[in-house]
Chain A
Amino acid sequence: MKYFPFLWATLWRKKARTIFTLLSIVIAFLLFGMLQGVNAAFQLGVDNANVNRLIVTSRISLTEALPISQRQQIEAVPGVAGVAHASWFGAYYQEQKNFIFAAPVEIDDYLHVVPEVKIAPEQVAALKQNRSGLIVGAETMKKYGWKIGDRIPLHSTIWVNKYDGTSDWKFDIVGVYEFPSDRSQENGAFFNYALFDEARTFGAGTVGWWIVSIKDPNQSAQIAAQIDKLFENSQDETKSQSEKEFTQSFLKQFGDINFIVKAILGAVFFTLLFLTGNTMMQSVRERIPELAVLKTLGFSDGKVTLLVLAESLLLCLIAAALGLLLADLIFPLLKDTIGVVKLPTRVLVSGGLIAVLLALATGGLPALRAQRLVIVDALAGR
């Protein structure tokens, strides 16, 4: 700690150079924070996937509907604990950018299979009593300032309501749901499948996908195979996957996000390595006589090496802290797009570790040069 004022003064010896280097590292870590945050947000869905659940979709495509008659057969498969369904409604509120994941469900079945969703019992009862009832996620309620009792329109990009001939479906908000284990799931809404199935102009008697809870997660692959076997060679062949596999394959539709993020960050940090390394080299080269004076005064080779490394560490850690702090402040603004409210802690921790590695990599060569410096040669300018 007693060396801090010396290190700090050394760091700001060339203010403009330090500021520009600092800025480039800040921007690199801001990018790191944002991209890794997005990656982690996508990964969160995979990590939070329930091992006790299977998702059964059409073998052809996720958008292909399945007949509701499949339900009894799926329920009869040994090891199945419960079956629920959901369908893609493609809803937004007022403007297309206000996307809401609204799904028509049979609420009792859904809550049985997805118990992470928490709704007050009287609100569940209210949904069942009101055919046009809607239970909205806590985040969405807050975002639009809705309250229970409000009547709101949701525009469907797929379904036309045959009773009024429009795609604007009117709902009465009767409750709020929470998803305590993953708050990013609170930006959706549930409404009655009965209303949806009766009022849509096509596709009656079908569902989007099945959500199947199973008794033993170790049996997951076998049960999935058994379900698919049931509908083999039928018009409605199925593809059953664990929730985790389903989430992963869903994300793969956007491309290998993990790879893309790593490739971009790899290029950024590779460039940064040369930039910061060059700055550190230049800084040490300019200070050869000063380093020689330090050694003359009694600073050992090891101590001078550590001082150069500490300077590099100080620069990288300050810049990384600023970059990650900025990312932490900006990241919540992406909440509407990716659903995650806060930059995951593991992104901040891994950012800190990368800053240390960057400091060691960029400070290593200059530190070695300082360590090998021969006092009499350096003082004589040789």
Chain B
Amino acid sequence: MIVSLKKVAKRYTRGKETVEVLHSLDLGIEQGDFVALMGPSGSGKTTLLNLIGGLDRPSEGEVVVAGEHIDRLSGAALARWRARNVGFVFQFYNLMPMLSAQGNVELPLLLTKLSAAQRRKNAQTALTVVGLADRARHKPSELSGGQQQRVAIARALVADPTLLVCDEPTGDLDRKTADEILGLLQTLNRDYGKTIVMVTHDPKAAEFAKRQLHMDKGTLVPGNMP
């Protein structure tokens, strides 16, 4: 089990109001799985994804990912853990506009002890995997939406993480490009053994996953329980 959540609750306080977004949630995801998290807006999908990716901490419960109790790690240790274990793909790509595709992909490798030449080589390999080796010198503004998302996927892959978390990775793309991106994620799951957790609103996108989980009002809908 690469992801294991037990009795996880998450509450946010906004002003005087406290909102519980996740309620005593249990979840298990096996290594090599490709899970699509679906559900209406406000159901807690992104919050759950953030907890799995170590971007946020639960208010209650236990989060174990890649064998680490990440809810117990300090801020700095959690940052190191993220760098080693998780690759992130966002809806709006979140690339650095002033860096080339190559520069963006190399960014996570700055946290490693790799030499500049090795960083360059690894980034080129990641760009080749996503089919953008010939666009390495282009800035994000010179790439299409689909190409930018491929760069973001290359950035997520470059440090060879065990887990990829994707938040609406095709939400900003047309159908054809979205299918290409989802096909790429499928390839990464099937051929490279990457475990993928993907949040999506799109039922067609969810079909690319091996498994679909539905959320509503902060809990997993029965029938989809792991």
Q: Using a CB–CB distance below 8 Å, which chain A residues touch chain B?
A: 2-3, 5-6, 9-10, 12-13, 289-290, 293-303, 375-376, 379
In the complex the two chains form, is B94's CB within 8 Å of A301's CB? Answer: no
In the complex the two chains form, is A301's CB within 8 Å of B75's CB? Answer: yes
Instruction: Kindly identify which residue among A10, A13, A376 contacts B56, using a CB–CB cutoff of 8 Å.
Output: A376
In the complex the two chains form, is A296's CB within 8 Å of B55's CB? Answer: yes
6 A-B residue pairings within 8 Å (CB atoms): A297-B88, A297-B108, A298-B111, A300-B76, A303-B111, A379-B55
In the complex the two chains form, is B116's CB within 8 Å of A298's CB? Answer: no
Chain A CB within 8 A of B211 CB: no
Chain A residue at minimal CB-CB distance from B76:
A300
Chain A CB within 8 A of B143 CB: no
Lowest 3 A-B CB distances belong to which pairs? A298-B83, A300-B79, A9-B98
In the complex the two chains form, is A298's CB within 8 Å of B103's CB? Answer: no
Say whether, besides A6-B103, A13-B97, A376-B50, A295 and B79 are in contact (CB < 8 Å).
yes
In the complex the two chains form, is B111's CB within 8 Å of A299's CB? Answer: yes
Chain A residue at minimal CB-CB distance from B79:
A300
Chain A residue at minimal CB-CB distance from B50:
A376
Interface string of B130-165 (1 = CB under 8 A from A): 000000000000000000000000010000000000
Interface string of B53-82 (1 = CB under 8 A from A): 101100000000000000000011001111
Chain A CB within 8 A of B1 CB: no
Instruction: Kindly identify which residue among A6, A13, A379 contacts B107, using a CB–CB cutoff of 8 Å.
Output: A6
Instruction: Kindly identify which residue among B84, B90, B103 contacts A379, using a CB–CB cutoff of 8 Å.
Output: B90
Q: A10 to B96, alpha carbons, bound, how many Å?
A: 9
Chain A CB within 8 A of B19 CB: no
Q: Nearest Cβ in chain A — how far from B196, in angstroms?
A: 17
Q: A298 to B84, alpha carbons, bound, how many Å?
A: 8
In the complex the two chains form, is A6's CB within 8 Å of B99's CB? Answer: yes
Q: Nearest Cβ in chain A — how far from B45, in angstroms?
A: 13
Most buried by B among A9, A289, A298, A299: A298
The residues of A that contact B108 with a CB separation of less than 8 Å are 297-298
In the complex the two chains form, is A3's CB within 8 Å of B76's CB? Answer: no
Q: Nearest Cβ in chain A — how far from B124, in angstroms?
A: 16
In the complex the two chains form, is A3's CB within 8 Å of B55's CB? Answer: no
Q: Nearest Cβ in chain A — how far from B70, in angstroms?
A: 13
Q: A379 to B102, alpha carbons, bound, how many Å?
A: 23
In the complex the two chains form, is B80's CB within 8 Å of A300's CB? Answer: yes
Q: Nearest Cβ in chain B — how far from A341, in angstroms?
A: 43
Say whether, besides A293-B96, A298-B83, A2 and B116 are in contact (CB < 8 Å).
yes
Instruction: Kindly identify which residue among A5, A302, A376 contacts B103, using a CB–CB cutoff of 8 Å.
Output: A5
Interface string of B102-141 (1 = CB under 8 A from A): 0100011011000010000000000000000000000000
Instruction: Kindly identify which residue among A2, A12, A290, A376 contacts B96, using a CB–CB cutoff of 8 Å.
Output: A290
Q: Nearest Cβ in chain B — how far from A299, in angstroms?
A: 7
Instruction: Kindly identify which residue among B83, B99, B103 contacts A297, using a CB–CB cutoff of 8 Å.
Output: B83
